[in-house]
Copies of this chain bind each other. A is one copy, B any other.
C-alpha cells in the first residue's frame, strides 16, 4: 500500500494546476494528518483588498483531501463547512492543520484550523466529512 507521501504526490502531481496556482506547500503529512502552507498574493484578493473566501476554502479543502486519503484508500468529500473568522491580506502566510475527529470504515470527519503565521491568529474554521471507498490508491 502507498505511503501518505506517495498519495499526496499523486494528488498534487505535476498537472495539479490549481494547487500550483495557489502555491500550496506540504509542510507535514502522515496518516490522518497534514499541515499545509501558502502565501496570499494580489490575484487572490477581492475588491476590499482582503483574500476572497474561496482562497482559505481551497487551502482547507486540499488539506481535507490529503489527510483523508493518507491511509491508502480513496476518499471523496461529502460535505464541508467553513467560517471565516478574520480577514487576511496580501503577503500573509496562512497554514491549514487537520485534526481527525472521527474515522470509521466508510466515513471520516476532520476539523481544519486555518491560521496566519507567525502570529497563529485563527482566520477560518473548516469541518469536512468524507466518504471512504474500498478502492486503494
Q: Which residues of A contact B (CB under 8 A)?
A: 10-13, 15-19, 21-22, 42-47, 49, 51-55, 57-59, 61-62, 77-85, 101-102, 104, 106-107, 109, 111, 113, 122, 125, 127, 129, 131
Contacts and interface: CB of A to CB of B under 8 A. Distances in A.
A interface secondary structure, majority: mixed
A94 to B, nearest CB: 14
Given A17-B42, A82-B80, A47 B12 contact: yes
Contacts of A13: 47
A18 B78 contact: no
Given A18-B52, A52-B18, A101-B113, A81 B46 contact: no
A80 B53 contact: yes
Contact of A44 (B17, B84, B104): B17
B18 A54 contact: yes
Nearest to A111: B111
Contact of A102 (B17, B44, B61, B125): B125
A39 B57 CA distance: 19
13 contacts: A12-B47, A13-B47, A15-B45, A17-B45, A17-B46, A18-B43, A54-B61, A58-B58, A77-B84, A78-B129, A79-B129, A83-B107, A111-B111
